[in-house]
Structure 1
Amino acid sequence: MKHVIFLLFFAGSTVTHADSFQPSAQQTITLTAPLPLTAQMQQLTARTMAQPNDNDALNLAALYLAGSRQPGFDAWFHQAQYWLSQVTEANHNNIEYPLLQADILQQQHQFAAALASLEPVFSRQPGHLTASLMAARIYLATAQHQSAQQACNRLWQRDLFLFSVCSYEVAGRSGQWQQSYQALQLLYQRQQNIPTQIDLWLRGILAEQAEQSGDIKAATAWLTPVLAKAPTSLWLKWADLSLALNQHHQVYQRLLPKHQQFGLADSLLVRLAVAEQQLAADTGISAELAERMQLRLIRGDTDHAADLAHYFLRVAPDPQAALHWAELNYQSAKEPDDIALLRQSKRALTYQQGIPNE
């Protein structure tokens, strides 16, 4: 069974973050409207419908989960959950099962459960690449930097390059932004023929470290060339960086066609609405987003609370509401973007109340 080993990097991280699908030679997806299936997915579906097969179900779960990270393909996440649920208990000991289960759980911000799902993998293969990197990603999402480094250390004797990248990301998150950024740039420049998945992962880290080092233009430059292949998490980062540079037109031009073709999830639609408002465009994005957010509030939907915080901070200003959702988001996700969102919400409320900044 062949999976894309680096599918885990693009999981939302919190999504707020997180992450897409770049197929391997055996997994080719052509993105045409609406939500097209590959020939492989069609074949696997037809075969498992005729005669259920655990290996086919696992493959479909992996393909749908990886594809769900592409902007506009969020609905595939539920298909991934469905196909994983079709795997019989007899095959839950297949090492791919806990890996996919952990990946799904961490996308839902169920981080403790995701780590628990990885334990059977580590008990059999302590240095498993995908499991080790996923564990590091989860620990980073919850700001457990020492544990993240311990997860990276599992790679020391398996893959020195991946160990180095993993460690530099942890060092950056630990506050050594400039040093890590410089070292990671040198490491990146020495590589040749980097696989697409690893290149996207590296560029995401480099963009974050450039931003945290104060160079927003450089951060944007790391992401712009690869947007066509990038997961939602990198699109979100690119959009936020571009909006910070007042490049509203670029954000509007690139996101609007995707929304018209596939229908973007709330996270990217928030950024499109910000650009629409700044350009005084009249495409109804803000009105559509308002309806979506109202529905989420009625349902009491607390998933991806960062979307609501961004909405009340940037589209329909309500600092009190923004702070509420930013604090709720911070309870589970503590990455730099989550910390920044919480601080921005606090500053907005302070400004509204006319309280002098300390």
Structure 2
Amino acid sequence: MRPSFLPSRGVSRATLGLTLAVSLALGGCGQTPAAERVPFTPATDDAVLAQVPATATDAKARERAALRRALGARADQLDLALRLARLDIEEGRASGDPRYLGHAQAALAPWWDAATPPPGVRLLRATILQGRHEFPAALADLDALIRESPEDAQAWLTRAVVLGVRGEHAEATRSCAALAPLAGSLAGAVCQAQVKSLAGRSRDAVALLSAAMARGAHGGDEEAWALSTLAEAAARAGDTGRATKLYARVLAMDPDDAYTRAAYADLLLDLGRPRDVIALVKDHGQDDNQLLRRVLAEVALGSPEAPALVAELASRYAASHLRGDALHAREEARFALHVEKDAGKALKLAQANWEVQHEPWDARILLEAALAHRAPDAAAPVLRFLEASGADDPGPLALAERVRKASR
């Protein structure tokens, strides 16, 4: 489920890839606890540790740099810190780079460990924790914020996102209901539709959101957010023709929408259109999630570029482990299963990921890995989850039936 920021007027999509949605468009399980992390020391002096934006041509990068200089002189300037943290979070979602969450935390350092920080800090702290998949801590902050400021629409939306990713659909729906009178009927409908689709009831989500969009004109950002949600629900419901058109429409409105681009690439892979995937993502290889989709497409084609791209993505996953990150477990499970052809490794990664989050792709990769490893019983938690959710989306139900047959 894609997280979004709500500005003072209307709704704005975050360009995630952290799904993040949700979470950040960062698939996988939670980050390694701080006590278990080991500092990373590069092996050579010329090792590339990070690629930074060219501030001369990037207005937002220039603004971030200026804010950082101002906070370097005096760190307790709350308004500047909130602005910088928000910009860093947005950049992380756009680029798919989780290190921007660390930059955002650094901006909030004077208040980060406070039991009762200012409301703006509490909200962004929860957002950062959500991006790292530290969901219980994020929910603790959000629940406290809602008690303090029950009219805070952004807190309700972020809470719905976290609960939806965790598979707590009933409670996520209640958060969406609280959001609607604060942020508008379409925002409430998008929130509700996302939760329904996460629960595997995507046809209901499509009907709900289509009706809401037909009731009036909407702002560009709000419309794009709704259309992206509608595209994803249509794809899960099996209406791939409509989903394809909607994804293309959203990307025409916002070519930098990393979340929609990755979701569209996944649909194209399922439709057996790897060349279209390459055309879609080839210029976005700095984002690990986009690179994964290209690798899957190049491998499917058996292209001469595939070996080098496979090695590059494997090295990125290895580097993330050295940094103590474990945010890519879902994506790495896909890489292990479909590229490395290591079903056992894929199953372990998918199981670790399932301990943390329960989105449709989390269910899918665990079902696929269990089947490939001839260990159908390992997918039992997903089968129980789908049954409890009342899921009727065709994709997971077909995979679930294959798992049941393999268990007999």
TM range (shorter): 0.7 to 0.9
Structure 1, unaligned runs of 5 or more: 21-31
- Structure 2 partner of 1:349: 373
Residue number among 124, 127, 142 corresponding to 2:148 in the alignment: 124
Aligned: 1:282 with 2:308: no
Q: Which amino acid aligns with 1:94?
A: P
Which deviates more from structure 2 when the two are superposed, residues 8-17 or residues 113-122?
8-17
Closer, same or farther in 2 for the Cα pair 1:161/1:295, shift >3 Å? closer
1:114-167 deviations in whole A, cap 9, x for unaligned?
011113321222131100011111111011111011111212432333223322
Which deviates more from structure 2 when the two are superposed, residues 77-86 or residues 136-145?
77-86
Residue number among 238, 243, 248 corresponding to 1:224 in the alignment: 248
Aligned residues: 338
* 8 Å contact kept, 1:106–1:114: yes
Over the residues paired in the alignment, what is the CA RMSD in angstroms? 3.0
Residue number among 129, 132, 146 corresponding to 2:170 in the alignment: 146
Closer, same or farther in 2 for the Cα pair 1:351/1:147, shift >3 Å? closer
1:33-62 deviations in whole A, cap 9, x for unaligned?
547452433432333233432221111011
Residues 185-200 of structure 1 mapped to structure 2, 5 A cutoff: 185-196=210-221, 198-200=222-224
* 8 Å contact kept, 2:123–2:141: yes
Aligned: 1:171 with 2:196: yes
Aligned: 1:50 with 2:73: yes
Closer, same or farther in 2 for the Cα pair 1:69/1:343, shift >3 Å? same
CA–CA distance in 1 between the matches of 2:350 and 2:234?
A: 24
1:263-298 deviations in whole A, cap 9, x for unaligned?
222x22221111122233333211212223344566
Question: Under a length normalisation based on structure 1, what TM-score does the superposition of the two structures give?
Answer: 0.83
Q: Which amino acid aligns with 2:246?
A: W
Closer, same or farther in 2 for the Cα pair 1:57/1:316, shift >3 Å? same
Query: Relative contact order: is structure 1 or structure 2 higher (C-alpha 8 Å, sep ≥ 6)?
Result: 2
- Structure 2 partner of 1:82: 106
Q: Which amino acid aligns with 1:247?
A: R
- Structure 2 partner of 1:109: 133
Over the matched positions of the two proteins, sequence identity in percent amounts to 25
> What's the CA shift for 1:229?
4.0
CA–CA distance in 2 between the matches of 1:90 and 1:299?
A: 26
Q: Which amino acid aligns with 2:73?
A: A
1:81-121 deviations in whole A, cap 9, x for unaligned?
22122448789632210110000101111111101111332
Aligned: 1:13 with 2:39: no
* 8 Å contact kept, 2:19–2:25: yes
Closer, same or farther in 2 for the Cα pair 1:60/1:297, shift >3 Å? closer
Aligned: 1:248 with 2:274: yes
Question: Under a length normalisation based on structure 2, what TM-score does the superposition of the two structures give?
Answer: 0.74
Closer, same or farther in 2 for the Cα pair 1:162/1:151, shift >3 Å? same
Which deviates more from structure 2 when the two are superposed, residues 220-229 or residues 341-350?
220-229
SS at match of 2:374: helix
- Structure 1 partner of 2:209: 184
Q: Which amino acid aligns with 2:154?
A: T
Structure 2, unaligned runs of 5 or more: 27-51, 377-402
Closer, same or farther in 2 for the Cα pair 1:45/1:313, shift >3 Å? same
Which deviates more from structure 2 when the two are superposed, residues 74-83 or residues 337-346?
74-83
* 8 Å contact kept, 1:58–1:84: yes
- Structure 2 partner of 1:68: 92
CA–CA distance in 1 between the matches of 2:152 and 2:329?
A: 32
Closer, same or farther in 2 for the Cα pair 1:223/1:173, shift >3 Å? same
SS at match of 1:82: helix
SS at match of 2:327: coil
- Structure 1 partner of 2:40: none
Which deviates more from structure 2 when the two are superposed, residues 53-62 or residues 175-184?
175-184
Closer, same or farther in 2 for the Cα pair 1:15/1:122, shift >3 Å? closer
CA–CA distance in 2 between the matches of 1:183 and 1:323?
A: 35
CA–CA distance in 2 between the matches of 1:295 and 1:74?
A: 13
Q: Which amino acid aligns with 2:300?
A: Q
